[in-house]
Amino acid sequence: MYVLITCPHGNRWLNDVIASYIGENIYKELEHEPNISCEVLVNTLPRSFGDMNRSETLGTPYRNSIEESLNEKPVILIDIHGFPDSTGSPFKGYDIVVLISYPEQKEMATRYFNILRNITKDSDLKLGLMPATAENSVVKQALEHRIPAVLIEHNESGSPELFAKIHAKAIKVIEKWGF
C-alpha cells in the first residue's frame, strides 16, 4: 500500500512549523512496515514564493512532484498542516482538525476522522471535523486522480511525534481494513 504525505508549508522556521516534523515522523513510524510504502513531499520555500496548496502554484516544481507521485496511485494522500493555538485561530482549543475541503471529500474526511477518534479515544486530545475555509488544490489534485485525500491541521503546541504515531496507526488501520 502506497501512502503520499504532503507538507506544502514545510519551512520549519516560517510556516506551519510542526508540519514537516509530523510528515517525517510518519515516515519513520512506517518505514519498516512490510506492506506500507510511504512518501513524504515537503515544500521548504516560504509562502512569499506562493502558497503551495493553492491553484496558482500548479506547475511549480513542488506541485509537479505531487503530480508525479499521484500518477503512482497512492491509496490515500494526507495533506499535513499546522496552526498556532492563538486567539485568532478557528481551530483554537483543538489538537487535530480534519477539514472537509470539497463536498465529494466529505465522506473520506469523516471516515479518517472516525479512525483518528477511535485511536485517540482514551487520550485527552481534542479532535475536530469541520469545513475548510479556503480551497486546497493539493486535495483537489488528488481527487482529480480519484485518490482519497484528507487535509489535517495540527496544533503547533502539540507533539509532532505523538501526532505522527496517531497517523501511522490510522494508516495501518487503512492498510488492514481498507479506506
CB 156 within 8 A of CB 80: no
What digits encode the pLDDT tens for the residues 144-169?
A: 999 999 999 999 999 999 999 999 99
> How far is the C-alpha of 88 from the C-alpha of 8, rounded, in Å?
22
What digits encode the pLDDT tens for the residues 102-151?
A: 999 999 999 999 999 999 999 999 999 999 988 888 999 999 999 999 99
- Give the 3-state secondary structure of 4-19: EEEECCCCCCCCCCCH
Global confidence as pTM: 0.91
Confidence of residue 50 (pLDDT cuts 50, 70, 90): low
- Give the CATH fold of the 2-177 domain: Aminopeptidase (3.40.630)
Plot region of 106 (φ>0 → left; ψ -120 to 50 → alpha; else → beta): alpha
Would you kindly state where each structural domain of the chain is located, as residue ranges?
A: 2-177
